[in-house]
Copies of this chain bind each other. A is one copy, B any other.
């Protein structure tokens, strides 16, 4: 019987719609397994800017710190994307949250539900059995270095930075995860050009002997972007820097059929944050068609990683599997074979998941 406090932070766009469903799944799990979960809500991103002028209000940060886990939606708004000169932006809230909570490790498991083998652009025979766990560093790199303008605004710069310590702590998490899996670790960098990547490779090489049971390879980021599509099964655990991780995990979403299926866990020094890897998707916001399965699977990661509730997490994953086996799909994962009546909206597919719980 666990008693836990969960902060729901829907953020922008479809973040609202999908976290509502993720929360229902947590409620159902608590009822079924006899846990007491309490909830609160807070603002971040564009909605926070609109309400307070600040993309991460202090109140939100404080509530995050006081919670046992955060169920997160998405941030972003086309308004800022189209205005490169905007000084206040939704993403600043997200980045500040990551930094303030010390969320240096972003886990992105890429696993294809067998029922979705046909939904991907990649051939089923290439995909079948692919199972990758990404560790993306989340509080360093070009995301957090000094940036600005020079020469009257005519030159822009961004500084990428990594310390040995930052590389080592994420690398150790990845090595340890590899030990519990197929014992392969691929470290991705651009050490043939970039100094931060050379430090990255040095650190991996230095600590590798402490994990003699893990087979380590180093790949350049360009080659990895190619190999992920050519032969996704060759990867087990992948560890990489913030920017490369951002790009490669979005790409790898195609291995799982759709971004709408991918959950992530951001963990580190304090409260863990669980969120879909998809963004705010304003093009489909408010239409009730967003795929909530990534938020539901994020709830499963939350139960597993922050609360240590393995059976509960498995019950959630299993329910998603059952819903897919029953032939239900959201639009993004439907294909030519899906009968129209099996293509459900956000709430309806959420209700099906609840039924299987």
Number of copies: 2
Q: Are B198 and A85 in contact (CB under 8 A)?
A: yes
On whether the beta carbons of A157 and B158 are closer than 8 Å, the reply is no
State the A residues within 8 Å of B (CB): 76, 80-82, 84-85, 89, 91, 95, 121-123, 126, 142-143, 145, 147-149, 151, 154-165, 190-202, 205, 218, 221-223, 225-226, 228-231, 243-244, 246-251, 253-254, 259, 279
Given contacts A155-B161, A160-B157, A162-B156, contact A147 B194 (CB under 8 A): yes
Contact sample, A vs B, 21 pairs, CB 8 Å cutoff: A81-B191, A82-B218, A91-B192, A121-B231, A142-B158, A142-B160, A142-B194, A147-B195, A155-B163, A155-B164, A156-B162, A156-B196, A158-B159, A158-B160, A159-B159, A221-B246, A222-B250, A222-B251, A223-B250, A225-B248, A226-B253
Chain B residues positioned under 8 Å from A122 (CB to CB): 121-123, 229
Contact B254 A229 (CB under 8 A): yes
Distance to closest chain B CB from A23 (angstroms):
26
In the bound complex, CA of A147 to CA of B197 (Å): 11
Chain B neighbourhood of A91, CB < 8 A: 192-193
A146 to chain B: closest CB distance in Å?
9
Out of B121, B145, B163, B248, name the residue touching A151 (CB < 8 Å).
B163
A122, A193, A229, A248 — which one has the most chain B CB atoms within 10 A of its CB? Answer: A193
A82 CB contacts on chain B under 8 angstroms: 218
- Among A155, A163, A251: residue with most chain B CB under 10 A: A251
Q: Which residues of B contact A230 (CB under 8 A)?
A: 121, 254
* Known interface pairs A156-B196, A225-B248, A229-B229; 16 further A-B residue pairs with C-beta atoms within 8 A, sorted by A's residue number: A81-B191, A84-B201, A84-B202, A95-B193, A121-B231, A122-B123, A142-B193, A148-B195, A151-B163, A155-B161, A157-B196, A158-B160, A158-B194, A158-B195, A158-B196, A222-B249
